[in-house]
């Protein structure tokens, strides 16, 4: 089976916003990601959403005061993002066509585990941030536990499209933090998992979505949060 098959996003492009479609877990993660985004600290604040897809983060930024700019390689996804108020930029997260220091907030949600050059992606995210700006990340850890849970189990339960993740691209947490620090961002990590109560209720149709809650370990799914000091 082909791994890290990004063509899956194009094949299922009409299902981005389906609450029980192939991208269902991305909806839950977008809500958790949105909770980490601070309100705008100044008029004209810009948030750059790397790998924005169809704009799933947009509903969770309402009232926060940011201009939401989404970067993605999929024109089909960006057309849908535009319908939700996202200003789309067609581009790669390893070479973002935006100016240095243009963003008050940079969000990289469920994208770092899809890039072959983690250091390059981190450098781009940090380059876009103004001094004092906020970096928000969520991604998958490079561990055996994550391979079993987030790839094997998640795919078997249809919480992720089969083949969408490559275990060889999972994120080394030490490298992530070191690279962020090298570019002036001190990154704090915390584990994340679905609420088991919500998941059970969702599975039998009693909940429309599942809350993501803190986990005791960062060894599977984790969030990162930090500010650029220089």
Q: What is the pLDDT along the chain (230 residues), one digit of tens a residue?
A: 556 566 667 777 889 999 888 889 899 999 999 999 999 999 999 999 999 999 999 999 999 999 999 999 999 999 999 999 999 999 999 999 999 999 999 999 999 999 999 999 999 999 999 999 999 999 999 999 999 988 887 777 776 777 678 889 999 999 999 999 999 999 999 999 999 999 999 999 999 999 999 999 999 999 999 999 97
Beta strand 46-50 with 129-140 is unpaired
Which class is 7-228 in CATH? alpha beta
For 150-171, the three-class secondary structure string (H helix, E strand, C coil) is: HHHHHHHCCCCCCCCCCHHHCE
Confidence at residue 151, expressed as pLDDT on a 0 to 100 scale: 84
Q: What integer pLDDT is reported at residue 6 of this predicted model?
A: 65
71: its two tokens: 């970067």
Domain edges within the chain: 7-228
Q: What is the structure's pLDDT at 153? A: 79
Enter the pTM of the model: 0.94
Measure the CA–CA gap between 129 and 95, rounded to whole angstroms: 14
Residue 109, token pair as written in the block: 């949600």
DSSP H or E segment with residue 32:
helix 24-36
Instruction: Please measure the distance between the N-terminal and C-terminal CA atoms of the chain and give it in whole angstroms.
Output: 44
């Amino acid at each position: 089976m082909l791994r890290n098959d990004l063509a899956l996003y194009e094949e299922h492009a009409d299902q981005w916003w389906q609450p029980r479609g192939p991208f269902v877990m991305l909806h839950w993660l977008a809500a958790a990601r949105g909770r980490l985004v601070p309100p705008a600290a100044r008029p004209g604040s810009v948030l750059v959403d790397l790998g924005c897809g169809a704009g799933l983060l947009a509903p969770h930024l309402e009232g926060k005061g940011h201009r939401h700019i989404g970067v993605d390689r999929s024109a089909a996804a960006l057309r849908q993002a535009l319908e939700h108020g996202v200003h789309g930029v067609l581009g790669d997260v390893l070479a973002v066509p935006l100016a240095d220091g243009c963003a008050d907030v940079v969000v990289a949600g469920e994208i770092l585990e899809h890039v072959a050059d983690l250091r390059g992606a981190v450098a781009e995210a940090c380059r876009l941030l103004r001094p004092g700006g906020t970096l928000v990340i969520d991604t998958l850890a490079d561990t055996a536990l994550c391979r079993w849970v987030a790839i094997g189990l998640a795919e078997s339960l249809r919480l992720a499209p089969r083949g969408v993740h490559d275990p060889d691209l999972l994120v080394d947490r030490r490298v992530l933090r070191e690279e962020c620090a090298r570019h002036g961002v001190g990154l704090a990590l915390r584990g994340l998992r679905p609420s088991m109560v919500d998941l059970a209720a969702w599975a039998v149709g009693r909940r429309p979505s599942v809350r993501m809650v803190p986990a005791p370990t960062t060894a599977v799914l984790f969030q990162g949060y930090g500010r650029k000091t220089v």
